[in-house]
Amino acid sequence: MSDKTEQRVAVVTGASRGLGEAIALELAAQGRHVVLVARSADRLEAVKSAIESTGGSASVKTCDVSDSSSIEAMIGAVFTEHGRLDILVNNAGITRDTLVLRMSDEQFDEVINVNLKSAFVACRAAAKPMMKGKWGRIINIGSVAGLVGNPGQVNYAASKSALLGMTKSLAKELGGKGITANVVAPGFIETEMTDVLPDAIKEGVKTMTPLKRMGVAQEIASAVAYFASEGASYTTGQVLAVDGGMTMT
């Protein structure tokens, strides 16, 4: 977009690495001003520099997504500074994996708070400026674990499954205001999180996947970019599994 006053503003949480970084880079490449959000500014500054080195536009906001007031303050600051907020990508998330008999209340609550409640708070806060602009794109990053479950991830699967229902409800509530809400549900993607998996598990994943490989972050970023686009104006309440066909029925 050559007219900077009409440049869409996108907020991406968990933008310092992995999927969030790839999503931020892709949205910036498509002409959005991207607000990079995470707890630590150091890695965000590196992503910002990468975006600016290719002619893109970005800024940095530190935020603890486990703190509702911090999220609301961040969203408010973005609107104050830019006068608009068009795209929200809730990507920040954590895992606290263990079998259910060993899972503590604290491990369950922590994952629900970061993965689900933070997205709810961000969506609630972002809906107001989006309604004022009569245009909005909410993209929540789910997981195939929320579709089919996964041993040792009762808390994580619960948070991602609940995210689907929340997003569909948002789509129905906000659709009349020109705001769409969708979910991208990644399968096994090559990131720092999956790098630590034993080789046997990685090979097992490839065996279960029709494409016989793990995904890469750019493939998730491309799916998010579609939902964030002008052309996705008639697509809402949808869940797109980007998983190499692992969960197809």
Prediction pTM value: 0.94
Domain assignment present for residue 248? The answer is: no
Range of the domain at 227: 4-241
Mean pLDDT of 222-245: 97
Look at residue 192 and tell me if it is in a domain.
yes
Q: What is the pLDDT of residues 219-233, one digit of tens each?
A: 999 999 999 999 999
* 234 has catalytic annotation: no
62 occurs within a structural domain: yes
Q: Is residue 246 part of a domain?
A: no
Would 24 be classed as within a structural domain? yes
Mean pLDDT of 48-61: 98
Residue-wise pLDDT tens digits, 56-104: 999 999 999 999 999 999 999 999 999 999 999 999 999 999 999 999 9
- How many domains would you assign to the chain? 1
Residue 145 included in any domain:
yes
CB 66 within 8 A of CB 114: yes
Question: 40 in a domain, yes or no?
Answer: yes
Is 249 part of a structural domain of the chain? Answer: no
Question: Which residue among the candidates 79, 156, 188, 227 is catalytic per the annotation?
Answer: 156
- pLDDT value at 35 more than 50: yes
Domain with residue 74: its CATH number is: 3.40.50.720
pLDDT given at position 129: 98
